Structure 1
Amino acid sequence: MSQSLIIAPQWIGDAVMTEPLLRRLRARGERLTVGALPWVAPVYRAMPQVDEVIEFPFRHGGLQLRERRALGRQLQGRFANAYVLPNSIKSALLPFLAAIPRRVGYLGEARVGLLTHRLKNPGDKPPMVAFYSALSGEAGVDTDRPRLALPDAQVDEVVRAQGLVRGGYVVIAPGAEYGPAKRWPHFGAFAARLDRPAVLLGSAKEAELCDAILAQAPHRCVNLAGRTSLMEAFALIAGAGHVVSNDSGLMHVAAAFGVPQVALFGSSSPLHTPPLNERAQVVWLKQDPEYTPPLDCAPCFQRVCPLGHFRCLNDVLPERVAALVAGVR
């Protein structure tokens, strides 16, 4: 069995969308070690095909060449293959410094000398799962779907610790790291319409956002933003009866667990980063033939609405989302 090192992306949603690639590599006999930043590493611990996860001691920004050289020396001789999933030059440095013979990735940021096998970057914004899976060199990547798994006992333990019943609550994930143009403004009004408990999940940076939602539905919600580990958040999502979110990392987590979900899109596009889940319902006014006037500005992929009206998410009414959740139990 050949030994392979995977250099993971730095965002949770992107990490989830790499799972089909790892499944393909494992199926053809490669033993997989994933190198990931600490906040992304738990995603790979929910992938049964991953044999080992190395948490990188790196930070956002800068090459941190000294740290990469030191880790490269430690990894020399361990791996036959490296798959570099991000497009940055710094992500390709470690496999090069570790002298891994076969180094696969996309062209980008002057990485020609760092990679031995280079794929041309596709134009526009391709579906991300196919983008990553193409690094396997195999065909049929357009049909891949990410999957995550946790032991039932682990899920049940986390759910019970919050005084909840598995399948009897809704997870609300109101954040979106990219910016406010991806955040639906009506989560509080939606939560107030629910007939079940709601768990608010997110990072510590989103605790204030979740507090505002809690204030609109104090008898329905519990705010756990910043109060769980990522693995505990995964367990709460896996045990939920429904997940409602923006286009975010937790949206992709819910899809990979196969949980019923409503995914709300505004400035981004479900053609690029859809929740790949047969139980997902996507709301995107750009594709709604009954919505007028048409959203010619979408998708803009901006962090803040450049036109100032934010129609793409402002006009998604809470009763519409509540009806979708009520219709799928």
Structure 2
Amino acid sequence: MVMAQSLFIALKDQYPLCCIDVLAPAWSFALLEKMPEVHQAIAMPVLRSQLGLAQRYRLGKKLATENYEQAIVLPNSWKSALVPFFAGIPLRTGYIGECRWGLLNDARKLDKSVLKMTVQRFVALGLAKNAALPPQCPTPHIVSDYDKQQAAALKFQLPPDTKILALCPGAEYGEAKRWPIGYFADVARRKADLGWQVWLLGSDKDRDIAEQINQASGNVCNNFTGRTSLTEAVELMSLADVIVTNDSGLMHVAAALDKNLIALYGSSDPGFTPPLNKKAKIISLHLDCSPCFKRECPLYPPGHEKHTQCLTGIKPDRVLDALGTIH
């Protein structure tokens, strides 16, 4: 969703008076409301894994009354193109994906050798078919809300006037994208010894990992995982001085907030989905076996000393050295 904002900005640059509505999961509304380019968010009534044909049909017929001129379909799945088709939107743009001829009438062929980054693929769909590629991609920029920021600080009784390091240890995709618990704990403990506040941010799914980090650090962290809404997590992140994160959704949020950021890459590719922020420092070992894009290390079983070496080889001292260069 953060990378999609580059498309929204590009559309507004071309057509300043255009009205952009976004059909998306309800959980993402907390991000969409921070994007000034978006007129309104419309809740997708079914989960991504569900067909929900009748629900998609009803939603499409409802949206038909809005008289949209164009729909840009970012996912490549067949079912993601159904609602614009049912809505009878005259121009339906997207990549061919799962054989979507007919559902899309402006079907584009994706040349991965030219559009190497996800954000480029999104922005290209907002341009004419004959536009020069790869496109220039505007930088995502989500806007924090001062009143909500202060409300979050008051709710969680945050101490004022200290440096804040936020750690984002989650990565929903899998273990091969998660920097080791002990390494996060080491960084947390050593920054806390220097008088920094250390926060752990993430969803409820990250709670166990975050608690293990906190315990291993000697409980020096303020663990917010599972305690905040997405809006509150974004506002808390906006208060941080620097963020250390796996390749995750919160990494892209931090980049869009224009924060000082250290992004850790293991099985994924920093050239494909990098943080879109010039302040970001990317740490990747660029091993011969990476990026493999696997959820678990395919070379060694869990517990093996070389398991996920693309991440275990990034030592805490290297991250701490990178933190030391940020002022």
Select the residue among 17, 21, 24 that pairs with 1:33.
21
Q: Residues 130 and 144 of structure 1 are in contact (CA less than 8 Å); yes or no, is this contact kept in structure 2?
A: no
Residue 248 of structure 2 is matched in structure 1 by: 248
CA distance in 2, matches of 1:50, 1:116: 24
CA drift of 1:143 comes to 4.1
Counterpart in the other structure of 2:291: 299
Give yes or no for the alignment of 1:82 onto 2:71.
Answer: yes
SS state of the match for residue 21, structure 2? strand
Match of 2:6 in 1: 20
Per-residue deviation at 1:62? 2.7
Partners of 2:43 and 2:317 lie apart in 1 by 43
Give the alignment partner of residue 59 of structure 1, picking from 21, 39, 47.
47
**Equivalent-residue separation in structure 2 for 1:279 and 1:40 (angstroms):** 25
* Deviations 1:242-301 (CA, angstroms, capped at 9, x unpaired): 111001111011111100010000111111111111111110011xxxxxxxx2111111
Residues 243/110 of structure 1: CA separation in 2 closer, same or farther (3 Å cut): same
Name the counterpart of 2:139: 145
Separation (CA, whole Å) in 1 of partners of 2:162 and 2:268:
29
Out of 299, 303, 322, the residue aligned to residue 324 of structure 1 is: 322
Letter aligned with residue 22 of structure 2 = V
1:96-135 pair list within 5 angstroms: 96-123=85-112, 126-135=116-125
| Match status 1:193 vs 2:190 | yes
Provide the residue aligned with 2:170 in structure 1: 175
RMSD: 1.6
Q: Kindly tell me: are residues 232 and 297 of structure 1, through their superposed partners in 2, closer, same or farther at Cα, counting changes over 3 Å?
A: same
Identity of aligned residues (%): 39
* Secondary structure of the structure 2 residue equivalent to 1:144: coil
Could you tell me which runs of 5 or more consecutive residues in structure 1 were left unpaired when the two chains were aligned. Answer: 1-14, 287-294
Mapped contact 2:6–2:137 kept (Cα < 8 A): no
Cα displacement (A) at 1:98: 0.8
Contact 1:129 1:145 in 2 (8 A): no
Residue correspondences, number: 307
Name the amino acid aligned to 1:168: K
Amino acid at match of 2:32: Y
- Look up the match of 1:3: none
TM-score (norm 2): 0.90
Equivalent residue, structure 2, for 1:73: 61
Query: For 1:43, which of 18, 31, 42 is the aligned residue?
Result: 31
1:202 corresponding residue in structure 2 = 202
Rounded to whole Å, the distance in 1 between the matches of 2:141 and 2:282 is 19
- SS in structure 1 of the partner of residue 49 of structure 2: coil
C-alpha contact (below 8 Å) 1:81/1:102 kept by paired residues? yes
Cα shift at 1:84: 0.5
Q: What is the alpha-carbon distance in structure 1 between the residues aligned to residue 189 and residue 322 of structure 2?
A: 15
Which amino acid is the alignment partner of residue 41 of structure 1?
A: F
Q: Bigger shift: 306-315 or 124-133? A: 124-133
> Is the Cα contact below 8 Å between 1:187 and 1:213 reproduced in 2?
yes
Structure 2: which amino acid aligns with 1:141? Answer: P
1:236 corresponds in structure 2 to 236
Q: Deviations over 1:162-194 (max 9, x none)?
A: 214477311110011111000000211211111
Runs of 4+ displaced beyond 6 Å = none
